[in-house]
Structure 1
């Protein structure tokens, strides 16, 4: 049973664990560092003694890319070992922490043994390394990346500032990426399947009808700029509201972005400069999100 992690700062979770994630070598690169301490800890185990991480954040594996990698592995073997941990339920087996793509390709290549680095990680550390490894190597689509950031924040108590510093990303990148989780499931599916880019998705977050605009973008192969313009214009009945939104200053827009990222819901601020007050709107997509919001307000 997975342990419930306590909220904490970076601690060992990111700063130390990231040392386990080496820049990924091309499997066709035969040049190795003879004196590497990581290589000295390497061992070879039967491929059928290894199982994937049940909490692997990456869900989509391109079959053509796996076949290409498998062809390379048949010729060169596996250059970089997988990171694994002992299976908590069976000491004779291992769970993948990082390197599931290589493991899948090795199965296709019908390799019998595979090089690994064994690390003694608990459930929390295992998930953190898996998320960070995928994000660092750009192996996740934008929605999976957003879910990875959300997991690191919600489950492990990391802040956006901590993640940005540890992972070499800007805070705005993290916030904008997590905003994609506000999109309807259908739109997220377009992004996961590669039919829409992250740029398209960011423009759709502010659209009055993101599903209709996403369908139009896919069917007409609209550019990101086209989608941005369509999202800003909106239906003719809401021109007044769009003019008001277009006149928002940069601080208001940034505050909307920060609140949206923190809540995981779309936040809109309508400030009346003359009156000195205004309205803050929070859009939830289902009752579960509404329950989450009520819990946050009750504990504030």
Structure 2
């Protein structure tokens, strides 16, 4: 796998975002780092399944968004061919490995994968390398949030 620089105009964020909330101080620090050092770790992208000549950012959406804010024009990218199922799984695994991704965001993503691919909790646990109870806890967070919103 080789690294290539792609212009931001060729990159489309993966949807939906895993991070639903932002921390202004953390964002400011991240932007300052990008201004000073640029994007150091390549974005993981795949050829966009619909838009020819464009790439979907599977991992690195935060770097993409903040890079645009600070005026960068391109980013180092690793291009991989992936199906939708592979892209969703890789995005979930990489975000689960980060400590600063909110549990509700992970829960939303797990729920989305259940709906999109028909996965059981056991299959999700297998895909992510976690226990079924871990998956269940994250899905319950989403259910609780929905109930709270509807009350």
Q: Are the equivalent residues in 1 in contact too, given 2:6–2:74 (CA < 8 A)?
A: yes
2:74 is the counterpart of 1:113? yes
Question: 1:61 & 1:187 partners in 2: Cα distance?
Answer: 21
Question: 1:48 & 1:63 partners in 2: Cα distance?
Answer: 25
- Residue 53 of structure 1 deviates from its aligned partner by 1.7
Task: Give per-residue Cα distances to partners, 1:176-217, cap 9 Å, x unaligned.
Answer: 2212233253736xxxxxxxxxxxxxxxxxxxxxx6xxxxxx
The alpha-carbon distance between structure 1 residues 94 and 63, as it changes in their structure 2 partners (threshold 3 A), is farther
Question: 1:185 & 1:158 partners in 2: Cα distance?
Answer: 20
Task: Give per-residue Cα distances to partners, 1:106-142, cap 9 Å, x unaligned.
Answer: 1122112210011122333323322332223245322
The one of 56, 59, 63 equivalent to 1:95 is 56
Question: 1:134 & 1:171 partners in 2: Cα distance?
Answer: 18
- Residue 165 of structure 1 deviates from its aligned partner by 4.0
Listed as ranges, the matches of 1:1-300 within 5 Å are 38=1, 41-183=2-144, 185=146, 187=148
Kindly indicate whether structure 1 or structure 2 has the higher relative contact order, using CA contacts under 8 Å at least 6 residues apart: 2
Question: 1:89 & 1:180 partners in 2: Cα distance?
Answer: 32
Question: 1:153 & 1:184 partners in 2: Cα distance?
Answer: 17
TM-score, normalised with respect to structure 1? 0.44
Question: 2:120 & 2:145 partners in 1: Cα distance?
Answer: 25
Cα RMSD after superposing both structures = 2.6
Gaps of 5+ in 2: none
Question: 2:91 & 2:80 partners in 1: Cα distance?
Answer: 13
Task: Give per-residue Cα distances to partners, 1:196-239, cap 9 Å, x unaligned.
Answer: xxxxxxxxxxxxxxx6xxxxxxxxxxxxxxxxxxxxxxxxxxxx
Q: Are the equivalent residues in 2 in contact too, given 1:70–1:106 (CA < 8 A)?
A: yes
Gaps of 5+ in 1: 1-37, 189-210, 212-300
The alpha-carbon distance between structure 1 residues 153 and 138, as it changes in their structure 2 partners (threshold 3 A), is farther
Question: 1:177 & 1:60 partners in 2: Cα distance?
Answer: 17
The alpha-carbon distance between structure 1 residues 123 and 162, as it changes in their structure 2 partners (threshold 3 A), is closer
Q: Are the equivalent residues in 2 in contact too, given 1:44–1:113 (CA < 8 A)?
A: yes
Q: Are the equivalent residues in 2 in contact too, given 1:56–1:131 (CA < 8 A)?
A: no
Task: Give per-residue Cα distances to partners, 1:233-268, cap 9 Å, x unaligned.
Answer: xxxxxxxxxxxxxxxxxxxxxxxxxxxxxxxxxxxx
Task: Give per-residue Cα distances to partners, 1:9-28, cap 9 Å, x unaligned.
Answer: xxxxxxxxxxxxxxxxxxxx
